Amino acid sequence: MKNKFLILIFLSFLNLSVYPLTKDYSLKLRSYFINDQRIFWSGMEMSFGVEGSLYLKFSKKNKKDILFSEIEIYLNQPFGKNILTDEMRKKYTETFKIDTIKISRLNIGYKRGNFLLKIGKDISNFGKFHYPIFINNYRFASPFIRSEAILLRETGIFFKWTPLFLSFDLGIVNGEEEKDTNSFKAGIARIGLNLSFLTFGVSVKAQDGIGSEQQKLYKNHLGVDFSLHHKNVSLSGEFIYDQYGFHKEFDDSEIFWPTSFYYRDTFYKYNTPIEGKGGYLNLKIGEGENLINISFGEYLPQKIGNIYHDQDVKRLIIKIKKKIDKNFSLFLIGISENERKIKEPWREGEKPYAFLIGVEFKNERK
């Protein structure tokens, strides 16, 4: 059975070779001003910035098969080199480093009927979100579980099967966005229901961890997602049970990789994950370049005796986008969180809000 399936794919590729190559693209350029008072202590909370993204898709198709490749590249403007660094702040140095050129997606895929196969880097098949992303740094304006726990991108092999009104997703992935730093791979699975007015899914991600030996971190989730939609209005949400933290004792002052401002890279007990749960609700009105999006969520970390880690997080996000021309639009992002009652002394002065305002140029063919 396996050999017949491989032969079928091979013959499909030969058949597709005689068909013309079609090309789709999307180019986006942005200029913006950001003020993130949550990182007031960094000296980088307020800045003008620019960025861009380019998406390309090449495909060949006949009546039954589609063979394609897609790539999305981010062009980012980094911070200056003179970043405030001392004994307290040094563990966040890597968090503020920005790759000038970043591979957002790059994969090769094959589609036949209701079966889809992709190999490479792509949008994670854990859960399903319905809120818009306005800038390259998706973590800045996403609900907490999406900015701190669930990865937006994964690298590996992805399978999707959509019989009738159901969907089955399976991924064997690195477990982190880039090339893996752990010998074991992660598994992702999602079962979904897809109706004209409703989507619902259950997802799981399980892996040995990110990193190796003393640096190994848990990264496991179990989640549900849903969406109710009518015309250009949708109500959606995601909720997860989360496992994170170090497998073994590790001094977090020695962290030299990008780390969370919410103390998630923390040790609790030997070979024992920290547990958390959280979710959000999202209301979107409008589509494309004219929309209003409001989301509110909460995350409840396990109380492990670390006064900085153990505080619940509530986050409200408002996004507005308005088309002003065929190719230009204005956008605004506002974020408000609950005040953290206990802070490290050097983080005094931070405030629980951020906003970004910008203009975008877009030109695409799909």
Nearest Cα to 190, choosing from 153, 226, 216?
Answer: 226
Taking only the tens place, the pLDDT of each residue in 139-155 is 999 999 999 999 999 99
At residue 94, the pLDDT reads 87
The two beta strands, 328-337 and 22-36, are unpaired
Cα–Cα distance for residue pair 72/99, rounded to 1 Å: 14
Q: 5, exposed or middle or buried, with CB in 10 Å at 0-12, 13-18, 19+?
A: exposed
Taking only the tens place, the pLDDT of each residue in 44-102 is 899 999 999 999 999 998 888 999 999 999 999 999 888 888 888 888 888 888 999 99
String of DSSP letters for 76-135: EPPPPS-----TTTGGGTGGG---SEEEEEEEEEEEETTEEEEEEEEE--SS---S---S
The count of other CB atoms within 10 Å of the CB of residue 200 is: 15
Nearest Cα to 64, choosing from 15, 22, 26?
Answer: 15
Cα–Cα distance for residue pair 89/298, rounded to 1 Å: 26
Cα–Cα distance for residue pair 181/103, rounded to 1 Å: 18
Looking at the domain 2-365, which fold is it?
Porin (2.40.160)
The band of 104, judged by pLDDT with boundaries at 50, 70 and 90, is: very high
Containing 145, the helix (H) or strand (E) segment is none
Per-residue pLDDT, averaged over 4-12, amounts to 55
Q: Would you list the domain boundaries of the chain? A: 2-365
Task: Compute and round to an integer the Cα radius of gyration of the chain.
Answer: 21
Q: Contact at 8 Å (CB) between 25 and 54? A: yes
Cα–Cα distance for residue pair 233/283, rounded to 1 Å: 8
- Check pLDDT > 90 for residue 269: yes
At residue 117, the pLDDT reads 97
String of DSSP letters for 204-267: EEE-S-BS-GGG-EEEEEEEEEEEEEETTEEEEEEEEEEEEEESS---GGG--S---TT--S-B
Under DSSP, the state recorded for 142 is: S
At residue 8, the pLDDT reads 54
The band of 211, judged by pLDDT with boundaries at 50, 70 and 90, is: confident
First to last CA, the chain: 37
Under DSSP, the state recorded for 149 is: I
Cα–Cα distance for residue pair 64/45, rounded to 1 Å: 52
